[in-house]
């Protein structure tokens, strides 16, 4: 029985050995004391391509090693270990075998030493070796890339980070694993939570949150912040992969650039505001100088006095045109110069400009010719004022820089379509010309072709800069050609719309004589005493009766006492400006008073100001400095209206509709101040300031949707609204405060804001009137 069992065991062992040696990928090699291979398992053929018997003896060393040196070293190790010269080392080792097809196979070997022989068992590890090599490679890449690669699980814990984190943020990988990432790189826990949420929404539902997860500020180990741009994508098994790139430099440059741009814009704005204010300040006294010079010139004078005055007049006009140039330039630079699009007669405009310039040409004894090609359209739509300005400048220069010969203005149509036309203008002179190396600079600001130009010919070098900017504002192009000593040609094109012949009524300019007296009752409202005197003297020369008012309120009061033929109204005045005064005159006094023509006197040429003037009910406007002829023309025009409308006696038949106190009720505040008018006046003044400030914030805050600011402002003004008894506004303000605070029900808020705005403007007028009365009382 026992024998049978043993036989069975033997058979089993044999089977297993057979299986291991023939079927499994296990190589068995046996070496003798000479280092020769005495056995090699048949698997060799499958693994390395050689039949096992082909590798016996020394063929093993010749065929399976890549280099002779290596094979020698190995063989030595075998022989010396068997002979006992070298200590046996049982540790596994790896060696690659050279296959029959010259490729390599990695085998992990384990030796065993028995008497006079070594048996080595090898397992094929080529697959793992390749994997390992790849891993080493990718680790190297991850270490060296400039990006940070991280993998997070569905709990937003970091489960992998590329070693590049050290280079990018200074952390060791272990320091950011798990939830630590959120603790160390975010200062604010809430922000970390919000970001996690946003990432989750993005990864799982593709929802883009308002939190920008693509660019985030991350705290580095040294406490500095880095801007990282992230690309997030879904990974395996509910993970997501974030690839981050350091964009700190880019962001900082952007911020710097933005700052630089803002500061450049700010300084341009400051410059332009300064220029606008300065030129306004200079223009006011200058207008007086020119105006009084005009007046003096109309009196009896000796020829010497006349000459001196004419020089003064001339200098004043040069100074004025310089200031206008500077102002135009600053408006052009800040994009604030408005253009008109109105129908006009091009031929007439050209004739007009040339007629004006003929006087100058005649003074210099040169001829000025105008050639209009017969194809040039007459009725066009565009900006006649700006075209005039361009032509006056170019023709003015041509005359200025020509001492003998002629200046020729030629105009023709370049191309046309059904609705539009492009007109070509050429101004050619036979003057001093421009040296070739200066020709490209003449359009630059404050540049003149020669350094002595200003001394000999005057000018500042702004004219052509403005011309060039105007031409391009009107979508045209300008060029210059010139031969030094021979003359210059300035050419420009201008696209215009075609006008209909019916639209423009040909006005024929009657030569205006200002001899006929006007005999009108005029109210002149202006806070500037010099302007008052100038206007009064001028108007009285035309036989007018002039009453003066120093501000809007005085003006309003005067209209309550007398029915004037015309009111000349300055715009900017203290206490009550021209717009407000006109509104009251036109709406709140009587029907007859509302018909009195109100003419705005303004130094501003902005379309918005004119629009505002017309909206306030003004009938016409006139720009300072006035040309006597223009004032005369306007007065004649509006004087006529009243001649026709049967001037009534100086009694106002209708009850005054003007109620100074529609909104305010001063009962409470009078009691509080014990009717002390000086304190009351102070309180009113301060409330008026608050209203101005409030209206500004209301406008600004609404535009920028800054509800917090609006809440603060409405909240602040609320007690004053109560104190001044403005019950109509009480509820509205209360309601606004709530809506702004809650940031709710903001849909139609503009209507409430407008209403509040309107009421407060009227409140201001009422307060100003009250203030004026109080000041009289004091």
Which residues fall within 8 angstroms of residue 445, CB to CB, at 6 or more apart? 329, 461, 462, 465
Would you count residue 401 as binding ligand ADP (CB under 6 A)? yes
Interface stretch with ligand ADP, choices 339-347, 394-402, 699-707, 724-732 (CB under 6 A): 394-402
* β 620-623/420-429 pair status: unpaired
> In this complex, which beta carbon is closest to ligand ADP, that of residue 195 or of residue 465?
465
> In this complex, which beta carbon is closest to ligand ADP, that of residue 72 or of residue 450?
450
User: Which position among 153, 200, 209, 460 is part of the footprint of ligand ADP (CB under 6 A)?
Assistant: 460
Would you count residue 464 as binding ligand ADP (CB under 6 A)? yes
Give the CA-trace dihedral at 484, 489, 490, 496, to 10 degrees. -170
> In this complex, which beta carbon is closest to ligand ADP, that of residue 235 or of residue 388?
388
Would you count residue 430 as binding ligand ADP (CB under 6 A)? no
Nearest approach, Cβ of residue 423 and ligand ADP (Å): 20
Would you count residue 740 as binding ligand ADP (CB under 6 A)? no
User: Which position among 377, 463, 597, 625 is part of the footprint of ligand ADP (CB under 6 A)?
Assistant: 463
Q: Which residues pair with 113 in a beta bridge?
A: 118
Interface stretch with ligand ADP, choices 357-365, 431-439, 493-501, 726-734 (CB under 6 A): 431-439
Tokens found for residue 494 = 């201008």
- Nearest to ligand ADP by Cβ — which residue? 459
- Over the window 195 to 224, marking each residue x when it contacts ligand ADP by CB under 6 A and - when it does not, the resulting string is ------------------------------
Tokens found for residue 656 = 């005054």
Nearest approach, Cβ of residue 403 and ligand ADP (Å): 11
- β strands within 235-366, DSSP E: 240-246, 342-345
Annotate 191-225 with DSSP letters as a single string.
HHHHHHHHHHHHHHH-PPPSS--SEEEEE-TTS-E
Q: Where are the alpha helices (DSSP H) in 663-706?
A: 667-672, 677-703
Annotate 356-425 with DSSP letters as a single string.
HHHHHHHHTT-EEEEEE-TTS-SEEEE-HHHHHHHHHHHHHHHHHT-SSSEEEEEEEEEEE-SSEEEEEE
Would you count residue 434 as binding ligand ADP (CB under 6 A)? yes
Would you count residue 488 as binding ligand ADP (CB under 6 A)? yes
User: Which position among 461, 660, 701, 725 is part of the footprint of ligand ADP (CB under 6 A)?
Assistant: 461
CA 660 to chain centre: 44
> In this complex, which beta carbon is closest to ligand ADP, that of residue 400 or of residue 624?
400
Instruction: State residue 186 phi and psi, 5-degree precision.
Output: -120, 130
Would you count residue 448 as binding ligand ADP (CB under 6 A)? yes
Nearest approach, Cβ of residue 407 and ligand ADP (Å): 8
User: Which position among 150, 432, 666, 733 is part of the footprint of ligand ADP (CB under 6 A)?
Assistant: 432
Interface stretch with ligand ADP, choices 54-62, 356-364, 457-465, 690-698 (CB under 6 A): 457-465
- Other Cβ atoms within 10 Å of 94 Cβ, number: 12
> In this complex, which beta carbon is closest to ligand ADP, that of residue 112 or of residue 403?
403
Would you count residue 409 as binding ligand ADP (CB under 6 A)? no
Tokens found for residue 116 = 């006079």
CA neighbor of 158 nearest in space, from 194, 183, 137, 188: 183
Interface stretch with ligand ADP, choices 107-115, 168-176, 393-401, 575-583 (CB under 6 A): 393-401
Q: Site for ligand ADP (CB under 6 A): how many residues?
A: 21
Would you count residue 323 as binding ligand ADP (CB under 6 A)? no
Would you count residue 182 as binding ligand ADP (CB under 6 A)? no
Nearest approach, Cβ of residue 622 and ligand ADP (Å): 28
Cα–Cα distance measured from residue 40 to residue 18, given in angstroms and rounded to the nearest whole number: 13
Cα–Cα distance measured from residue 772 to residue 41, given in angstroms and rounded to the nearest whole number: 122
CA neighbor of 23 nearest in space, from 38, 45, 7, 56: 45
How wide is the angle at C-alpha 423 spanned by C-alphas 417 and 429, nearest 5°?
160
Would you count residue 397 as binding ligand ADP (CB under 6 A)? yes
Q: Give the burial class of 421: count Cβ atoms within 10 A of its Cβ; 0-12 exposed, 13-18 middle, 19 or more buried.
A: buried
Would you count residue 429 as binding ligand ADP (CB under 6 A)? yes
- The residue ranges that bind ligand ADP (CB under 6 A) are 397-398, 401, 429, 431-434, 442, 448-450, 453, 459-465, 488
């Amino acid at each position: 029985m026992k024998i049978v069992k043993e036989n069975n065991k033997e058979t089993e062992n044999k089977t297993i050995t057979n299986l291991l040696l023939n079927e499994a990928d296990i190589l068995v090699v046996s070496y003798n004391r000479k280092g020769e291979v005495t056995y090699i398992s048949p698997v060799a053929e499958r693994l390395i391509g050689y039949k096992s018997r082909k590798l016996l003896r020394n063929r093993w060393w010749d065929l399976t090693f890549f280099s002779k040196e290596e094979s020698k070293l190995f063989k030595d190790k075998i022989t010396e270990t068997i002979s006992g010269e070298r200590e046996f080392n049982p540790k596994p080792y790896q060696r690659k075998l050279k296959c029959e097809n010259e490729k390599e196979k990695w085998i992990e070997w384990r030796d065993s030493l028995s008497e006079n022989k070594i048996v080595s068992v090898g397992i094929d590890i080529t697959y793992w070796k390749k994997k390992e090599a790849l891993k080493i490679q990718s680790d190297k890449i991850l270490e060296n890339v400039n990006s940070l690669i991280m993998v997070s699980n569905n709990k937003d814990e970091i489960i992998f980070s590329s070693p590049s984190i050290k280079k990018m943020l200074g952390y060791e990988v272990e320091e950011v694993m798990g939830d630590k990432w959120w603790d160390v790189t975010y200062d604010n826990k809430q922000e970390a939570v919000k970001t996690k949420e946003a990432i989750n929404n993005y990864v799982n539902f593709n929802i883009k949150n308002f939190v920008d997860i693509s660019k985030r500020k991350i705290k580095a180990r040294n406490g500095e912040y880095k801007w990282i741009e992230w690309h997030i994508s879904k990974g395996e098994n509910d993970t997501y992969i974030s690839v981050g790139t350091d964009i700190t430099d880019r962001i900082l440059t952007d911020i710097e650039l933005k700052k630089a741009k803002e500061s450049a814009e700010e300084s341009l704005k400051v410059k332009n505001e300064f220029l606008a204010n300065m030129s306004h300040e200079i223009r006011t006294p200058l207008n007086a100088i020119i105006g009084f010079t005009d007046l003096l010139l109309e009196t009896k004078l000796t020829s010497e006095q006349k000459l001196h005055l004419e020089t003064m007049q001339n200098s004043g006009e040069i100074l004025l045109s310089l200031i206008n140039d500077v102002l135009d330039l600053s408006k052009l630079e800040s994009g604030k110069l408005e253009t008109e699009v109105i129908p006009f007669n091009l031929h007439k405009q050209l004739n007009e400009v040339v007629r004006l310039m003929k006087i100058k040409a005649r003074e210099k004894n040169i001829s000025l010719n105008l050639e209009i090609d017969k194809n040039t359209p007459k009725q066009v739509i565009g900006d006649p004022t700006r075209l005039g300005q361009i032509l006056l400048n170019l023709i003015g220069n041509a005359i200025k820089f020509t001492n003998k010969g002629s200046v020729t203005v030629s105009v023709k149509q370049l191309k046309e379509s059904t609705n539009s036309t492009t007109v070509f203008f050429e101004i050619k002179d036979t003057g001093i010309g421009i040296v070739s190396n200066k020709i490209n600079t003449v359009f630059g600001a404050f540049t003149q072709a020669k350094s002595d130009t200003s001394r000999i010919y005057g000018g500042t070098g702004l004219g052509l800069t403005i011309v060039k900017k105007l031409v391009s504002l009107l979508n045209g192009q300008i060029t210059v050609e010139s031969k030094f000593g021979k003359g210059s040609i300035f050419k420009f094109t201008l696209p215009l719309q075609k006008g209909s012949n019916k639209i423009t009524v040909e006005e024929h300019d009657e030569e205006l004589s200002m001899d006929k007296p006007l005999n009108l009752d005029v109210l002149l409202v202006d806070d500037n005493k010099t302007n008052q005197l100038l206007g009064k003297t001028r108007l009285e020369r035309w036989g007018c009766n002039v009453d003066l008012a120093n501000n809007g309120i005085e003006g309003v009061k005067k209209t309550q006492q007398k029915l004037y033929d015309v009111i000349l109204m300055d715009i900017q005045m203290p206490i009550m400006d021209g717009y407000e005064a006109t509104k009251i005159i036109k709406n709140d006094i009587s029907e007859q008073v509302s018909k009195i023509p109100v003419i705005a006197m303004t130094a501003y040429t902005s379309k918005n100001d004119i629009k505002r003037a017309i909206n306030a009910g003004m009938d016409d406007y006139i720009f300072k400095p006035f040309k006597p002829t223009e004032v005369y023309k306007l007065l004649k025009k509006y004087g006529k209206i009243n001649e026709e409308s049967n001037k009534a006696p100086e009694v106002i038949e209708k009850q005054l509709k003007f109620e100074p106190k529609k909104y305010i009720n001063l009962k409470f505040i009078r009691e509080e101040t014990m009717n002390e008018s000086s304190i009351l006046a102070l309180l009113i003044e301060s409330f008026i300031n608050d209203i101005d400030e409030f209206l500004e914030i209301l406008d600004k805050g609404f535009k920028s949707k800054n509800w917090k600011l609006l809440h603060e402002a409405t909240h602040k003004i609320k007690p004053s609204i109560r104190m001044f008894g403005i019950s109509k506004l009480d509820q509205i303000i209360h309601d606004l405060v709530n809506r702004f605070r809650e940031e709710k029900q903001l849909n139609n808020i503009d209507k409430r804001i407008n209403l509040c705005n309107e009421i407060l403007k009227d409140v201001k007028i009422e307060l100003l009137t009250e203030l004026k009365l109080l000041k009289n009382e004091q």
